[in-house]
């Protein structure tokens, strides 16, 4: 299977000649075409830094990143498109205009970009809201618009940084199911940062667990279950065992003074 992303010995350090902070240390990782990889780890472990480096928003201190076999040189929504927790929709534009805005910047004519935007809104189940303003949509619907805006660029890779973190658990799992269906249908490659263990297991073909800072990869777990998955998967032994393992692995070690509060 072809590789969508190849990361080799990636290091990211913040700071100059004075005090330096090593955010990501010696990370090597591959993501195959059509694979959805979730990334978990303690807060501040470098998950988002890794994602931003892969998307060209942060220049690595050392190491290499190749997307589609080509060295990453700069941010390019055709190469890697981001979906952030903040929807970043333009409130004065309609939903379809928001989805099409990347194509507009590329000089695509109005009729073509509207047709492409409508098709992706149709895929996300939002076609009937095309001419509404973002403020007329719920938070979950706005996030689906943000996903459609990323997908309309036909990126080689989708980078999702806690995209559903501001939503309630039921809404985020419902949208997660929809995202899984769409990504499976389009054989889309994705790296998905999350703090939710349920989300990590439910969505992923493979889970990457990172250590506390400096962030390194400490474990990779394959979720051997076809996508898209139904909610019933969350009741299976496979799901429960993997989630339990992740929870135990991420539990911080007990401190000596914890005994005072037992």
pLDDT tens digit sequence for 145-165: 998 999 999 888 999 998 877
pLDDT at residue 206 tops 60: yes
Higher-scoring residue by pLDDT: 234, 177: 234
Tell me the HSE value of 154 on the side-chain side, using a 13 A CA sphere: 5
100 and 7 fall within a common domain: no
Q: Is 179 exposed, middle or buried (0-12, 13-18, 19+ CB in 10 A)?
A: buried
Q: Choose the final residue of a domain: 102, 125, 154.
A: 154
Per-residue pLDDT at 18:
66
- Given 139, 154, 169, the domain boundary residue is 154
Provide the token pair at 66: 């190749």
* Coil, strand or helix at 39: strand
Q: Helix and strand tally (H, E) in the chain?
A: 7, 10
- 43 and 167 in a single domain? The answer is yes
Q: Do 129 and 148 fall within a single domain?
A: yes
Which residues span the domain enclosing 125?
A: 80-154
In percent, the amount of the chain with pLDDT more than 70 equals: 94
* Cα gap 226→35, rounded to integer Å: 11
How does DSSP classify residue 255?
A: P
Q: Does an H or E element contain 206, and which?
A: strand 206-210
Number of domains in the chain: 2
Q: pLDDT averaged over the chain?
A: 88
Query: Does residue 261 have a pLDDT over 70?
Result: no
Could you tell me if 142 and 16 lie in one domain?
no
Chain-centre distance for alpha carbon 47: 10
Q: Of the candidates 112, 127, 154, which is a domain's last residue?
A: 154
pLDDT of residue 259: 45
The count of C-alpha atoms lying within 13 angstroms of the C-alpha of 1, restricted to the half-sphere facing its C-beta, is: 11
């Amino acid at each position: 299977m072809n590789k969508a992303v190849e990361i080799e010995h990636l290091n990211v350090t913040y700071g100059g000649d004075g005090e330096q902070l090593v955010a990501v240390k010696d990370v090597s990782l591959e993501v195959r075409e059509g694979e959805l990889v979730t990334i978990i780890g303690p807060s501040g472990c470098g998950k988002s830094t890794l994602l931003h480096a892969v998307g060209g928003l942060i220049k690595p201190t050392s190491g290499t990143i190749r997307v589609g076999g080509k060295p990453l040189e700069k941010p390019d929504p055709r190469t890697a498109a981001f979906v952030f927790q903040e929807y970043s929709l333009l409130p004065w534009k309609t939903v379809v205009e928001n989805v099409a805005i990347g194509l507009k910047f590329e000089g695509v004519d109005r009729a073509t970009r509207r047709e492409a935007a409508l098709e992706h809104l149709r895929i996300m189940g939002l076609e009937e809201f095309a001419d509404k303003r973002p403020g007329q949509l719920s938070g979950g619907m706005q996030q689906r618009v943000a996903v459609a805006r990323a997908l309309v660029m036909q990126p080689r890779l989708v980078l999702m940084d806690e995209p559903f973190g501001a939503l309630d658990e039921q809404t985020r799992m419902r949208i997660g199911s929809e995202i899984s269906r769409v990504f499976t249908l389009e054989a889309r490659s994705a790296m998905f940062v999350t703090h939710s263990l349920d989300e990590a297991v439910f969505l992923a073909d493979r889970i990457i667990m990172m250590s506390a800072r400096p962030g390194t990869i400490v474990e990779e777990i394959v979720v051997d279950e076809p996508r898209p998955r139904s909610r019933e998967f969350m009741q299976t032994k496979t799901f429960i065992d993997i989630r339990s393992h992740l929870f135990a692995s991420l539990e911080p070690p007990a401190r000596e003074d914890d005994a005072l509060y037992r």
